[in-house]
Structure 1
Amino acid sequence: MKPMHSAAAAPPLLLLLLLLPFLSAPLLHARTTPTVAAGKNPFTPEAYVIRYWQKQVSNGLPKPSFLLGKASPLTAADYAAFSKLADQNSLSTQLPDFCKKANLLCFPDVGASLEKHSHDVNFATYLNENFTNYGTDHGGGVDSFSKYSENDNVILDNFRRYSRGSTGHNDKFSAYATGSNVIDQRFNTYGTSATGGKGEFKNYNDQVNIPGLKFTSYSDNSNARKQTFTSYSQDANAGDQSFTSYGKNGNGAANEFKSYGNSSNVVGSTFSNYGESGNAPKDTFTSYGTNGNVPENNFKTYATDANDPNESFKNYRDQSNVGDDSFQSYAKKSNAGKVDFLNYGKSFNEGTDKFSGYGQDAANPVTVGFKIYGVNNTFKDYQKGSVTTFSSYVNDSSSSSVADSLAAEGKKVNSWVVEPGKFFREEMLKSGTIMPMPDIHDKMPKRSFLPRVIVSKLPFSTSKLVEMKNLFHASDDSSVAKMMTDSLGDCERAPSSGEVKRCVASIEDMIDFATSVLGRNVAVRSTDNIRGSKGNIMVGKVKGINGGRVTMSVSCHQSLYPYMIYYCHSVPKVRVYEADILDPTSKAKINRGVAICHLDTSSWSPGHGAFIALGSKPGKIEVCHWIFENDMTWTTAD
């Protein structure tokens, strides 16, 4: 009788496969204190990272649990299996399983739906579905989506033909993807050739992180149909929105945006072929991009060839911070009509606004009215024959004068730029100081690093963008494709003068970069938690790292990508502090914060938010800030 294997034994071939990814892993010497907890598999990616830290960092300080917690959660068996697939360039064939087990940010592969729905459907809750043909030729009635894709992490929705050719039909989206994280939503042919009826979006993508929204053909060829967006992408963070063909060839269409992109951070919007060749279009933007941070809005061919257009912008970019706006070919070749900007671009810190081909070649004079017109704007190819009124043209390019004007009017100063406590002076870091704490929440989606053995086999360069998109099933115009190109742009950008930078996609790579800059005697720190965020705090005991001396650090910030990537760079001439954060009422310790003070700000932009908040100029003051959740700073160890 053959001898039986023990329970812990494994066939030699299987054991070899499990060990292949770890043949290069440095094992601990027998005299080294074990660092992998008893009972845990020593061949997982996390176990390897612990051993790698032990080898590369030459001090006995405790290993940073917040960093090790970002290690890949793959089991040893899955690690071996996915490593083999990466070797064969076939990870894309197992993408859903890979994303789930490795804790990655991936959009679901949602197929086309041929499901048909009767009239007057009420969807109370819906998530990650495609509608190939919804509401076509409906007559009368109401379709309602009460909570569509709400409060989820990754949303992928596609409506291909929505209310096409309908008559007197109403559509309602009460809460669309509100409070969700990363969004990729698109409407193709929405309300095309519809007659009458009304489309209404309330709370569309409010408080969303990284919205990616596309309306390809919106209300084209419609007749007397009204569309209303009550709250569109308010309080959103990053992302892009586009309307490719909006109200083209419409007759008497009335479109209204009551609150568009207000209080959003770095959101880009594109309107192409807006109201083109329309007959008596009436569009209203009540509050567009107000209080935004670095908005980028682009209107191309707006109301071109329109007959008797009536367009109104109220509070456009009011109190926004910098950004870049462009209107190209506005009301070109239109016939008569009226276009009003009641409050255009009175920004807290001016951006760049360009108008090209404004009212050009109009058949009859177009009445254009500007009231309270902002700074740093350019007009090209302006139709001289138009009837134009400027009620209050602000031509002072000083951002401080704009801020003073806003304060005199009792208006709120931009919350993104000068959020209380976002920037502060070094003298504030002393025991007993009461100060505001900004919102230090990590707004990025939850992800993990990949093991270096796997990530080293994956494409990551502009020359391999096609392979990258194929790997993650990303179409050319998808949110995934955009996050890839954005990350590549940051990672492939040439370093600034005196800067050393690197994008790292594994903990091993981050350790290597930090030690290459600072040496092997290093420590990494981050603020413990988010308690105290968005409220007043009291500073408790303060400790200066490296004795409070001027030092160099390596700061690492997340980049948005399917797997965890950090942008790490050297930061010279800083002082780093750890401080107890106390509740100002009870004096109880609620957090342990890490703050970094930049002593040389001479190369910073004059429009940097720190100078807006603190009232100074580059090189004149030091600037301090807290390390936000999941960001980190490396220094030499004390």
Structure 2
Amino acid sequence: MDHFFPLISILVLAVGVTHAASPSELYWRSVLPDTPMPNLIKHSTDVGELGLGHPVTKPMATSAKLRSCFFLENDLHDGAKFTLHFTGTGSGLSLLTRQEADSIPFTTTKLPEILARFSIEPGSHEAMAIETTLEECEEQAGYGQIKKCATSLESMLDFTTSALRTRDIDTVSTRVDKEDSPEQQYNVVGVRMLTGSSDWVVCHVQPYAYTVFYCHTKGNSKAYMVSMVGEDGTNVEALAVCHSYLDGSNPKILAYRGFQAKQGTGNFCHFQPQDNIIWIPKSNANLL
């Protein structure tokens, strides 16, 4: 009998460890066994079956001043200074499984049904955000681009591996070593290119009643990892994406208007929020 309770404890611990792995984590391991799961996904919540009254997930993006967030590639170098505000990623993502997500309409034609399901008042700020996300997801992809709004981790992984034609992929996101750092000036202490290839994908979190990633391939773009130190000592590894003017002429990119007069002086760049994920084939990545 003396050995019974320790044995039971070990079995309970083992069962607990097994059950601790979320469906998202298990699917990740099956598709990308050699790729570490980003903290953004690892610390997410599998919300299970959604019921009425589930709140709209706010877009967990950094809030950086536009004039500081957008800049010319020529200005990206050691000693450069940017005033930024990294707001953290809140309480994490609320991911649905593929089965759960596929059971919920995801189209503008079903907007009243979607709003009713989540007890969202038509005409409210949340309702307009959901409608905007659905409209953007239904728009045609740009020339030479592949896109998908992924409503589950499974669909995001399937899209990414299909678009990149490989499962040998690395993921990169902006990392901040303090959860709540103030808006402040950051000094660049290191810059390295992650990839200059067009063969990569970026996924952005969209405002919705649960986590939706807007994923698309990139063309004529470069990705950099920028090491910065804030005035209060906050260390940041910030993802920066630089576009050519031909690739970046989308009028929805508001800051682009401010750079039109500078065409020919270099590509324009912007930092990626902490809730964005870049997917790069390991054969094209420079992550060391």
Q: Among residues 84, 101, 115, which one is paired with 1:438 in the alignment?
A: 84
Q: Among residues 108, 112, 122, which one is paired with 1:476 in the alignment?
A: 122
Residue 53 (1) aligns with residue 47 (2) = no
Aligned residue number for residue 40 of structure 2:
66
Uncovered stretches (5+) of structure 2, i.e. residues with no partner: 1-6
- The letter for the 2-side match of 1:95 is L
Deviation at 1:528, TM superposition (A): 0.7
CA distance in 1, matches of 2:128, 2:222: 36
Distance 1:460 1:55, change over 3 A: same
CA distance in 1, matches of 2:234, 2:115: 47
Aligned residue number for residue 18 of structure 2:
42
Q: Is residue 202–residue 279 contact of structure 2 (8 Å, CA) maintained in 1?
A: yes
Q: Is residue 108–residue 134 contact of structure 2 (8 Å, CA) maintained in 1?
A: yes
Distance 1:481 1:571, change over 3 A: same
CA distance in 1, matches of 2:140, 2:177: 33
Deviation at 1:38, TM superposition (A): 5.5
Residue 543 (1) aligns with residue 188 (2) = no
TM-score under structure 2 length normalisation: 0.77
Q: Is residue 40–residue 92 contact of structure 2 (8 Å, CA) maintained in 1?
A: no
Deviation at 1:565, TM superposition (A): 0.9
Q: Among residues 95, 109, 117, which one is paired with 2:52 in the alignment?
A: 95
- Which residues of 2 match residues 216-231 of structure 1 at below 5 A? none
- The letter for the 1-side match of 2:278 is T
Deviation at 1:617, TM superposition (A): 5.3
CA distance in 2, matches of 1:511, 1:607: 27
Aligned residue number for residue 458 of structure 1:
104
Q: Among residues 261, 267, 274, which one is paired with 1:622 in the alignment?
A: 267
Aligned residue number for residue 632 of structure 1:
277
- The letter for the 1-side match of 2:56 is L
Deviation at 1:440, TM superposition (A): 4.2
Query: Any idea what the Cα deviations from partners look like across 1:381-409, whole Å, max 9, x if unmatched?
Result: xxxxxxxxxxxxxxxxxxxxxxxxxxxxx
Aligned residue number for residue 300 of structure 1:
none
Distance 1:437 1:555, change over 3 A: farther
Deviation at 1:437, TM superposition (A): 3.1
Aligned residue number for residue 508 of structure 1:
154
- The letter for the 1-side match of 2:134 is L
For the pair shown, which has the larger CA radius of gyration, 1 or 2? 1
- The letter for the 1-side match of 2:189 is G
Q: Is residue 430–residue 541 contact of structure 1 (8 Å, CA) maintained in 2?
A: yes
Deviation at 1:544, TM superposition (A): 1.7
- The letter for the 1-side match of 2:98 is R
Deviation at 1:498, TM superposition (A): 1.7
Distance 1:535 1:479, change over 3 A: closer
Deviation at 1:439, TM superposition (A): 3.2
Aligned residue number for residue 68 of structure 2:
421
Aligned residue number for residue 4 of structure 2:
none
CA distance in 1, matches of 2:92, 2:121: 22
TM-score under structure 1 length normalisation: 0.37
- Which residues of 2 match residues 523-534 of structure 1 at below 5 A? 523-529=170-176, 534=183
Q: Is residue 421–residue 437 contact of structure 1 (8 Å, CA) maintained in 2?
A: yes
CA distance in 1, matches of 2:234, 2:28: 30
Q: Is residue 169–residue 281 contact of structure 2 (8 Å, CA) maintained in 1?
A: yes
Q: Is residue 45–residue 92 contact of structure 2 (8 Å, CA) maintained in 1?
A: no
Deviation at 1:550, TM superposition (A): 3.2
Query: Any idea what the Cα deviations from partners look like across 1:218-245, whole Å, max 9, x if unmatched?
Result: xxxxxxxxxxxxxxxxxxxxxxxxxxxx
CA distance in 2, matches of 1:65, 1:476: 34
CA distance in 2, matches of 1:488, 1:468: 11
Query: Any idea what the Cα deviations from partners look like across 1:474-526, whole Å, max 9, x if unmatched?
Result: 34334443333222111111222222111111112111111111221112221
Aligned residue number for residue 319 of structure 1:
none
Q: Is residue 177–residue 235 contact of structure 2 (8 Å, CA) maintained in 1?
A: no
Aligned residue number for residue 491 of structure 1:
137
CA distance in 1, matches of 2:204, 2:252: 22
Distance 1:565 1:530, change over 3 A: farther
CA distance in 2, matches of 1:95, 1:599: 45
Deviation at 1:425, TM superposition (A): 2.1
- The letter for the 2-side match of 1:105 is V
CA distance in 2, matches of 1:618, 1:604: 11
Distance 1:61 1:540, change over 3 A: farther
Q: Among residues 204, 207, 215, which one is paired with 1:560 in the alignment?
A: 207
Query: Any idea what the Cα deviations from partners look like across 1:83-123, whole Å, max 9, x if unmatched?
Result: xxxxxxxx6xx535xx3xxxx538xxxxxxxxxxxxxxxxx
- The letter for the 2-side match of 1:42 is T
- The letter for the 1-side match of 2:273 is F
- The letter for the 2-side match of 1:625 is H
Query: Any idea what the Cα deviations from partners look like across 1:589-613, whole Å, max 9, x if unmatched?
Result: 6111111111353551579543454
CA distance in 2, matches of 1:595, 1:484: 27
Deviation at 1:632, TM superposition (A): 2.3
Percent identity (aligned) = 23
Deviation at 1:616, TM superposition (A): 2.8
Deviation at 1:424, TM superposition (A): 1.6
CA distance in 2, matches of 1:466, 1:615: 40
Distance 1:589 1:468, change over 3 A: closer
Query: Any idea what the Cα deviations from partners look like across 1:574-601, whole Å, max 9, x if unmatched?
Result: 21111221246x8x56111111111353
Query: Bigger relative contact order, structure 1 or 2, given CA contacts below 8 A and separation 6+?
Result: 2
Distance 1:612 1:626, change over 3 A: same
Q: Is residue 40–residue 93 contact of structure 2 (8 Å, CA) maintained in 1?
A: no
CA distance in 2, matches of 1:452, 1:510: 10
Residue 522 (1) aligns with residue 169 (2) = yes
CA distance in 2, matches of 1:607, 1:557: 15
Distance 1:38 1:593, change over 3 A: farther
Q: Is residue 69–residue 270 contact of structure 2 (8 Å, CA) maintained in 1?
A: yes
- The letter for the 1-side match of 2:27 is Y
CA distance in 2, matches of 1:434, 1:523: 28
Query: Any idea what the Cα deviations from partners look like across 1:419-447, whole Å, max 9, x if unmatched?
Result: 3421122233333x231133343699965
Q: Is residue 147–residue 217 contact of structure 2 (8 Å, CA) maintained in 1?
A: yes
Determine helix, strand or coil for the equivalent of 1:577: strand
Distance 1:606 1:50, change over 3 A: closer
